[in-house]
Amino acid sequence: MMTIRMPDLYNRVSQIIPQPDWMLFEDDIEAIFMLKREKNAVILAHNYQTPEIFHGVADIVGDSLALAREAARVEADVIVMAGVHFMAETAKLLSPKKTVLIPDMRAGCSLADSITPANIAQLREAHPDVPIITYVNTSAAVKAASDICCTSGNAVKIVESLGVPKVLMIPDGYLARNVARETDVEIIAWNGTCEVHELFTPEDVRGMRESWPGVTILAHPECPPDVVAEADFAGSTAAMSDFVGDKKPARVCLLTECSMSDNVAVNHPEVKFIRPCNLCPHMKRITLGNIREALEKGHHEVTVDPAIAADARRSVERMLEI
Ligand code: 13P
Ligand code: SF4
């Protein structure tokens, strides 16, 4: 009979990963531990990564804002981004001397794909003198053409920090409208959407309340505004996780990507998670197997064109200062 080689690690995740599945992961996890030491590498993992990555091999986990902050201060030669491409690019901007790897170059984002620097130029022409705030879910080229970045964790604060009556907020139209409900600053939005969060509907929320009376419903601000309006709380992935830790609702439903509930549930076994969720196909391109391969072969290296790097870095650093 096969035995578990890493019982302490497995005990942490045993409520969400069946033992036979875990056994299939152990070879890769052991190899990744060794490779990290050998290459002086760290793994940064977003909250949407699968539990065997998030709880098994990641050194630093968090929302986009936390990953950007940590990329700037982490000490290592190599950063492996277990997340999507814009997160790896942001890490490279903030840690230009480190090698930044993404295990699958195809890990993109529908929001990042929804806007180009040419679109920004059109917006500048149509709205001269209105500052452009770009969500971090964009390419480095779009960040370079914008004035400042924001994440879902600091969007209201960034909007209000500029001290102007009107801003452009790109590319997530729903995030922009959700932020507009919380500030007096006028917000002009772009029409990008997150292909994961746009699928939630107010009917989902009502159906859940009917099936699970008393359930606490948390929504990511990339959800449509009528969904956020019916939820009990809206916030970034880190804010949702903190909400569960602070309030410990008896039953909770996170309207966001599927792995999020698994990852948060590990730390809160007393909370019951109701799990209607949507998968992000981009986040799911990252696996233990391709993280191991990235470390073994040093691929796929993420670089940023020097012609745009300084301007893109300025947009991200301006955000981090606030
Ligand atoms: P957070 O910044 O809240 O982690 O969100 C990132 C993301 O891609 C959500 O879809
Ligand atoms: Fe992009 Fe949405 Fe996936 Fe986040 S969940 S990476 S916003 S497609």
Together in a domain, 90 and 40? yes
Residue 81 belongs to a domain:
yes
Across all residues in the chain, what is the average pLDDT? 97
Counting the structural domains of the chain, the total is: 3
Pairing of strands 78-82, 41-46: parallel
Residue 255 belongs to a domain:
yes
* Average confidence (pLDDT) over 95-103: 97
Residue that terminates a domain, selected from 167, 192, 217: 192
CA-based nearest residue to 180, from 192, 188, 171: 188
The domain in which residue 54 lies consists of 6-109+283-297
Residue that terminates a domain, selected from 192, 223, 257: 192
Other residues' Cβ atoms within 10 Å of the Cβ of residue 239: 17
Which of 90, 115, 139, 194 is the best mutation target for the ligand 2 pocket, counting ligand atoms within 8 Å of the beta carbon and taking the most?
194
What pLDDT, on the 0 to 100 scale, is given for residue 3? Answer: 86
Together in a domain, 156 and 178? yes
Together in a domain, 130 and 220? no
Rounded Cα distance, 67 and 60, in Å: 8
Half-sphere exposure (Cβ direction) of 214: Cα atoms closer than 13 Å: 5
Q: Is 151 in the pocket of ligand 1 (CB under 6 A)?
A: yes
In the block, which residue shows the tokens 């746009």?
Answer: 198
* Average confidence (pLDDT) over 55-59: 98
Per the CB < 8 A criterion, the answer to whether 138 and 112 are in contact is yes
Together in a domain, 36 and 102? yes
What is the CATH number for 89? 3.40.50.10800
Together in a domain, 10 and 102? yes
Together in a domain, 129 and 176? yes
Together in a domain, 66 and 141? no
Together in a domain, 52 and 105? yes
* Tens of pLDDT, residues 203-227: 999 999 999 999 999 999 999 999 9
Residue 319 belongs to a domain:
no
* Average confidence (pLDDT) over 173-201: 98
Which backbone phi and psi does 234 adopt, to 5 degrees?
-130, 140
- CA–centroid distance, 135 to ligand 1, in Å, is 10
Residue 310 belongs to a domain:
no
Together in a domain, 105 and 17? yes
Together in a domain, 16 and 101? yes
Per the CB < 8 A criterion, the answer to whether 149 and 134 are in contact is yes
3-state secondary structure of 15: coil
Residue that terminates a domain, selected from 137, 170, 192: 192
Residue 320 belongs to a domain:
no
For residue 268, give both structure tokens: 């809160």
* Average confidence (pLDDT) over 232-241: 97
* Average confidence (pLDDT) over 272-295: 96
Residue 1 belongs to a domain:
no
- CA–centroid distance, 251 to ligand 2, in Å, is 25
Query: Within 6 Å (CB) of ligand 2, which residues are found?
Result: 84, 109-111, 137, 194-196, 222, 257, 280, 282-283
Rounded Cα distance, 158 and 145, in Å: 17
Atom of ligand 1 nearest to the CA of 136: 2
**Strand order, beta sheet including 148-150:** 148-150, 132-135, 166-170, 186-189
Residue 306 belongs to a domain:
no
Does pLDDT of 1 surpass 60?
no
* Tens of pLDDT, residues 124-181: 999 999 999 999 999 999 999 999 999 999 999 999 999 999 999 999 999 999 999 9
Together in a domain, 102 and 130? no
Residue 116 belongs to a domain:
yes
CA-based nearest residue to 48, from 78, 84, 77: 84
Does pLDDT of 2 surpass 70?
no
Together in a domain, 53 and 114? no
